[in-house]
Structure 1
């Protein structure tokens, strides 16, 4: 005779059932936004979650009861899947799959435990695609805004601690915003422009293929080109022979188009990068000085600036954590500690300077 499940088991199984049902719905919702291979992968994971759902339903039998709400994290993933892009949702799903409770639960089958472990890797791979697509712009946005937030908050608090008037603090904050944003923009322009020039210097010369018909086929100088670009001697000679063979056909492509190039991340225009960096930094740097722009008393304005910057730092830290598949709260607190720590040091130095001058 099969032993009846305990009340604790029934409660746990019902929660598992609700979570599996909701997770399957999340994967199907994400699949609606995808095509081709990614869509098929997401639907396959959804089918696996449905199999897990059936397992808990079978165990519950007549104790299945009314549909139960999934846990908070699963409901959050469902909300993100319906209202936002897949990157945030997949990042959360990756974390959820990695922390599956089935590993410590004897009521889950070994196959289910293995499924969850593999799902974590599948979702990691899908999330990585989205991260790669947005990594450049996201990195510029987060680092630019954070630089503006922390540096201008530190500047404003340092000057305020020296005992100057609110108008001087505001002027200093505006100056810090403009100086920092211009510096960020100029630095990004030079960085991207220099990288473009380096890549251009490594690109085969467009007229180099004109020399090919005059080469000694037996000496095969062309093979040296390919060896210089990283091919082995055997691969280079084989590639060169293929090029000479194609030259005999009118439709043959030039050898330049066939040279194997190292993979490079697509680089945007230097001006576009400079303007983006300027705007991101300026947006972050504006937050600490808004209270002073509103004419609020110096002390109150500094407190409001601290709170506003702290909230923003935690938001950017949490977003970074979600996208990297790490605990968002931990990343938010780390971001807050670093930002306010830097501001605290500057405030202390400003206070000491003010006392010394006074």
Structure 2
């Protein structure tokens, strides 16, 4: 192993190199633990894939063990972020953990490390793609409800904060501010839930309308058409002209068996859209949760500018958390997403407050 990484070293490794290799060894061990923890909460193919990734990370760990030799030293922990991933994988094993693992793989330092063979650096790039594919499955399963939840929470946070600040800007007393905030919470949550239910149900109905009728195959033996005409069906479904013609010829030769090849299915589209009741429930609960935050200071009996300032701070924190959650799930950096959410929400609330102030001054 020493020969694989030798550059201009002719003597013993320096203390700095040994520390560096020990860190790499600890990180590889932690990564293997992450994948084994995730595999313990999975079954079937996903479990086998995760165990394969764990085996690969342990193979990389053995590289550093061989490189260190007698200098391997006591067992040490990996980076803090990897230890957090191990803890999350043990307790949750959710798509968020896979998204975090994907981000960790995408920031592997091996491509810049002179002590790492090209084969190991290439392995890490492939690991990123494997984890990306696994995370994509989870993202598809939660995308409908997650979209409704994030949209509901942000709408509740921003709209009710804007409503509360607008009333405060109009010099309304604290009792009116509290009543307005609670009314906005209930009205908005009901509206969001109903709207999301109608939206998802409509989208599912559109998907169902686009699904091929399986009973249509039964009339094929009685068709007064040629293969070219039947091929139009397959071309309309997105196949190439040659592939559509081949399918049509095969079906006319033997119309009894089902036509091979992929066709749109109800579950494939509906898995991404989600169910109407689940999306509506998520929207209602998360809108109400978000809308409650700017009202909390007034519910606690606080009044005036301090209550308004505390509401703004609490909503700002919540906006950053939801933005960071979106960033994590998408495999992107959470901080830019958090700041984007904060900027948009703060801007909307500030405009409403200014309008309320102008309106209050005009009325006064």
Q: TM-score range with shorter-chain normalisation?
A: 0.7 to 0.9
**1:326 to 1:224, Cα distance in 2 relative to 1, 3 A:** closer
SS in 1 for 2:269: coil
- 1:163 alignment partner, SS class: coil
Q: 8 Å contact 1:226–1:259 — kept in the other structure? A: no
Equivalent residue for 1:41, pick from 42, 45, 49 = 49
Match status 1:346 vs 2:347:
no
Unaligned runs of 5+ in 1: none
Give secondary structure in 2 for the equivalent of 1:95: helix
Once residues 117 and 204 of structure 1 are traced to their aligned partners in structure 2, the CA distance between those partners, rounded to angstroms, is 40
Inter-partner Cα distance in structure 1 for 2:31 and 2:309: 42
The answer for the alignment partner of 1:149 in structure 2 is: 157
Measure how far apart 1:197 and its partner are: 3.4
- Which whole-Å CA distance do the structure 1 matches of 2:262 and 2:11 have between them? 70
Aligned residue in 2 for 1:131? 139
Indicate the RMSD between aligned Cα atoms, in angstroms.
2.9
Residue of structure 1 in register with 2:4 after alignment: none
C-alpha distance in 2 between matches for 1:69 and 1:190:
51
8 Å Cα contact 2:157/2:315 also seen in 1: yes
Bigger drift between 74-83 and 301-310 goes to 301-310
Change (3 A) 1:6 1:304: same
Matched, 1:264 2:269: yes
Quick check: 1:67 aligned with 2:67?
A: no
Bigger shift: residues 42-51 or 77-86: 42-51
Structure 2 gap ranges (5+):
1-8
Q: Distance in 1 between matches of 2:240 and 2:119?
A: 45
Aligned to 2:91: 83
- State the match for 1:289 in structure 2: 295
Q: Taking structure 2 as the reference length, what is the TM-score of the superposition?
A: 0.85
Q: Aligned partners of 1:21, 1:115: CA distance in 2, in Å? A: 16
Moved more, 161-170 or 274-283: 274-283
Flag the 1:2–1:82 CA change in 2: closer, same or farther, 3 A.
same
Q: Judging changes above 3 Å, is the alpha-carbon distance between structure 1 residues 205 and 8 closer, same or farther for their aligned structure 2 residues?
A: closer
> 1:168-179 counterparts in 2 under 5 A?
168-179=176-187
- What is the CA distance between 1:12 and its match in structure 2? 1.5
Cα shift at 1:311: 2.1
TM-score, scaled relative to structure 1 = 0.86
Asked if the contact 2:153/2:286 (under 8 Å) is kept, the reply is yes
